[in-house]
Chain A
Amino acid sequence: MSRIVAWPDSTTRNTTAYESLDTAARRNVDDAPVPVLVPDDPKLLASAIVTTGTHWAAVATAAAGQHVSIQMSGQAKVYPHIKAAQGTYEVRGHAAFVTHNEGVWVASWIENGVAYNIELECADLKDVACQDSAAVVALAETLRFVGGRGEVQQ
Chain B
Amino acid sequence: MNRVRLAGLLALLPATALAGGPEPFEYEPVGSLLDGSGEGAVDDTVYAPGMRFPMEDGPAFANSQVYMHGGYLGPGGGQCDAENYAYPWRDNYCEIRSWAMPLCPAGQGHQGQDIRPATCDDGVHWNVSTTDGTVTNIGSYSVYVTAADGTRFDWLHGTGNVVASGQTVSRGERINRVSNEFGTAATTIHTHFNLKQDVAGIGFVFVSPYTSLVASYQELFGLVGAGDGAIESTDCAAIEGWAWDDSNPDIAVDVQLVFGGPLDGANPVVQVTADRNRQDLCETLGSCEHGFSVEAPLSLRDGQAHPIHAYAVQGGRTANELESSPLLFQCEAPAVPPGVRRQISSPEIVSAWNIEPFWDVATVDDARIAAIDVDRDFPQQPVLVLSDADEGTVWLMDPGYRRLMGSEDVAAAWGLSLSDAEVWPASVLDDVPIGTPVRAARFLLRGSDGILYAIDDAQCALTEDGQLDPDCNAGGDETGGGGAEDGGGPNDGDADDGVGTVGPDTDGTGGPNADGSSGDDGCGCRSSSTPTPVWAMALVGLVFIRRERFFPGG
Contacts and interface: CB of A to CB of B under 8 A. Distances in A.
A84 B142 contact: no
B134 A51 contact: yes
Contact of B100 (A2, A76, A84, A97): A97
Given A56-B150, A99-B99, A77 B137 contact: no
Interface in B35-81: 43, 45
Given A53-B150, A125-B184, A117 B204 contact: yes
Given A58-B136, A79-B7, A87 B100 contact: yes
A122 B185 CA distance: 11
A46 interface: no
B252 interface: no
Interface string B156-178: 11000000011000000000000
Interface stretch (A9-17, A35-43, A63-71, A139-147): A63-71
A117 B110 CA distance: 18
Given A87-B102, A125-B185, 10 more contacts: A67-B137, A67-B140, A75-B150, A76-B199, A83-B201, A84-B352, A100-B98, A108-B204, A121-B142, A124-B183
A128 interface: no
B205 A80 contact: no
B250 interface: no
B535 interface: no
Given A51-B146, A102-B156, A113-B346, A82 B351 contact: yes
A29 interface: no
8 contacts: A55-B150, A67-B140, A77-B7, A84-B352, A99-B101, A99-B111, A110-B203, A117-B204
Contacts, number: 196
The 5 closest A-B pairs by CB, nearest first: A88-B554, A84-B201, A76-B347, A73-B198, A117-B204
A49 B166 contact: yes
B146 A1 contact: no
Contacts of B140: 65, 67, 121-123
Given A1-B357, A82-B200, A100 B450 contact: no
Chain B's interface size range is 35 or more
A58 B278 CA distance: 52
Interface in A91-126: 95, 97-104, 108-110, 113, 115-117, 119, 121-126
B221 interface: no
A51 B5 CA distance: 32
A103 B553 CA distance: 25
Given A71-B146, A78-B200, A79-B45, A51 B136 contact: yes
B522 interface: no
A104 B155 CA distance: 13
B102 A85 contact: yes
A54 interface: yes
Interface string B339-362: 000000111101110111100000
B203 A78 contact: no
Contacts of B136: 51, 58, 60, 69, 71
A134 interface: no
Interface residues of A, number: 57
Nearest to B134: A51
B45 A2 contact: no
A122 B142 CA distance: 11
Nearest to A47: B165
A121 B144 CA distance: 12
Given A4-B345, A125-B183, A54 B148 contact: yes
Contact of B552 (A73, A78, A88, A125): A88
A46 B13 CA distance: 51
Contacts of B97: 100-101
B279 interface: no
Contact of B347 (A53, A54, A78): A78
Nearest to A87: B100
Contact of A88 (B134, B156, B199, B553): B553
Interface string B125-159: 00000000011111111101010111010001100
B183 A103 contact: yes
Contacts of A60: 136-138, 144, 165-166
A86 interface: yes
The residue among B103, B135, B139, B157 with the most chain A CB atoms within 10 A of its own CB is: B139
Given A85-B201, A124-B183, A80 B354 contact: yes
